[in-house]
């Protein structure tokens, strides 16, 4: 799984990638991620169902265009009522 600490993710247009964003550094003591919504701009690629594993929000991404640059954003809601937004850039490159 690729995390948001990478400056960007290179994805072959024929592949599906697992993408994860770790919210640990943004959570208070005992705070958890309760829900996550994913978005991709510009539209086009397909996002999978969002998941939560501890402090990491995950999804899959497929259908990027060769040379395309996309911003994949996770909006998380926490047990303390915070709304946290983090993004990662994905670029379509051949393998």
Q: List the chain domain ranges.
A: 9-92
Task: Supply the DSSP symbol for 54.
Answer: T
Angle (CA) 67-46-8 rounded to 5° is 45
pLDDT digits (tens, 9 = 90+) for 10-47: 889 999 999 999 999 999 999 999 999 999 999 999 99
The Cα 6–Cα 74 span in angstroms is 15
The Cα 71–Cα 40 span in angstroms is 6
The percentage of the chain sitting over the pLDDT mark of 70, rounded to a whole number, equals 92
Q: What is the mean pLDDT of the chain?
A: 91
The CATH class of 9-92 is mainly beta
pLDDT at 2: 46
The Cα 49–Cα 85 span in angstroms is 17
25 CB-near residues (< 8 Å, 6+ apart): none
34 CB-near residues (< 8 Å, 6+ apart): 52, 76, 77, 78, 79
Give pTM, 2 decimals. 0.88
For the residues 70-75, what does the mean pLDDT come to? Answer: 96
pLDDT tier, 94 (very low <50, low <70, confident <90, very high otherwise): confident
């Amino acid at each position: 799984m690729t995390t948001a600490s990478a400056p960007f993710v290179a994805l072959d247009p024929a592949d599906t990638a697992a993408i994860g964003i770790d919210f640990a550094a943004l959570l208070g003591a005992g705070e958890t991620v309760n829900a996550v919504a994913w978005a991709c701009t510009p539209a086009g690629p397909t996002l999978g169902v969002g998941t939560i594993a501890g402090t990491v929000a995950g999804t899959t991404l497929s259908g990027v265009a060769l040379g395309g640059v996309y911003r994949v954003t996770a909006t998380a809601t926490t047990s303390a009522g915070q709304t946290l937004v983090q993004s990662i850039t994905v670029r379509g490159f051949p393998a």
